[in-house]
Amino acid sequence: MNADGISRKEALARLASFAEGKRHLVVVGSMNADYTVTTERLPKPGETVNAGPLRVLPGGKSGNQAATAAKLGADVRMLGAVGDDDNAGFLLGELTKAGVNTDAILHVPGASGTTVITVDSHGENTIVYSPGSNGRVSPEYVRDHADVITGAAVLGLCLESPMPTVIEAARIAHEAGVKVLVNDSPFIPELPKELIDNADILLVNEHEMSQLLGIDEPEDGDWDAVDWDAIVAQMAGFGFDQAVITLGGDGSVVIDGGETHRIVPVKVDAVDTTGCGDSFMGTILAGLAAGADLVSSAQVASYVSAYAATGHGAQASYGTTEQVTAKFA
């Protein structure tokens, strides 16, 4: 495996270049109001624990990914749906503030998407998701805005939208030669063949990869010691020659062109890991849109997602290029 550690100076220089992309990127999917409380520890089943004040923060995996990329200077177009409740204006306002173009977002009757999040003193969390308006994002809506997708450099997808809609967005992008990055989250163990055939890059964590490929996780948690050549072959057989496997606090591994690249972690004192994975993916989208390769984009994403772990919430914790640079310079 190639060890791809780069200096902070080089990583931050690459980050600055992400704002120079000549084409926009598109994220199709979810926006949620995150109802978040902090506790000393996560409750066990049937247990009640005391928590701090309730905070309502902007979230949703797709909204998070779009906000991260926009804060890094990328030209980001968001496709999705909000309801007619107070959260709708809140979510759109926060995305607009981050720099996301929300002109094509659909407004539907009923509640916007919501999550209920509990965060413990170590920054770990549990999340319960209620789709709301996200479940109303239809294939027809995506087709109505096909021009937004076909003009993009890259399309980002996760699975908080109806699967037929995700597949249709991927198909439109693939047929137009637009690169498609799919995050199998919320995780499903069997991705539809039609989605795999129309996607280019898969992003999963180590647990999800193990379930997808039917492999055992190392008992000691040492992913550096596993047979990555075998994993590359299995991932190709599954349908992806390019993939990113995140390893939590241990960094990530990029599979590209039959080779594996070990991306070293950026160590910080984590406050809240909510949305850090979305920040990682949003950074990769920004990098790809700017013409960076997958490995370089993942190297930079390590810094951006580490910055996010030092703040509370998802979008609320994301930094601009200037803020991330100041943190790690």
Q: What is the DSSP string of 236-286?
A: HHHT-SEEEEE-GGG-EEEEETTEEEEEPP-----S--TTHHHHHHHHHHH
Name every residue whose Cβ is closer than 8 Å to that of residue 73 and which is 6 or more positions away in sequence: 18, 19, 20, 99, 286, 321
Domain boundaries, the chain: 2-30+59-112+132-328
Q: Does residue 278 carry a catalytic annotation?
A: yes
Residue 19 confidence (pLDDT) above 90: yes
The residue behind tokens 């598109």 is 26
Q: What's the rounded Cα separation, in Å, for the pair 293 and 298?
A: 9
pLDDT, tens digit, for every residue of 181-206?
A: 999 999 999 999 999 999 999 999 99
pTM of this prediction exceeds 0.75 = yes
pLDDT band at 3 (very low <50, low <70, confident <90, very high): low
Peptide bond into 186 cis (omega under 30): yes
pLDDT, tens digit, for every residue of 149-189?
A: 999 999 999 999 999 999 999 999 999 999 999 999 999 99
pLDDT for the residue numbered 259? 94
To the nearest whole percent, how much of the chain has pLDDT over 90? Answer: 84
Q: What's the rounded Cα separation, in Å, for the pair 76 and 70?
A: 6
Residue 4 confidence (pLDDT) above 60: no
pLDDT for the residue numbered 5? 60
Candidate from 49-53, 119-123, 253-257, 287-291 with smallest mean pLDDT: 119-123
- Of 86, 256, 278, 293, the catalytic one is 278
CATH 3.20.20.450 fits 2-30+59-112+132-328, yes or no: no
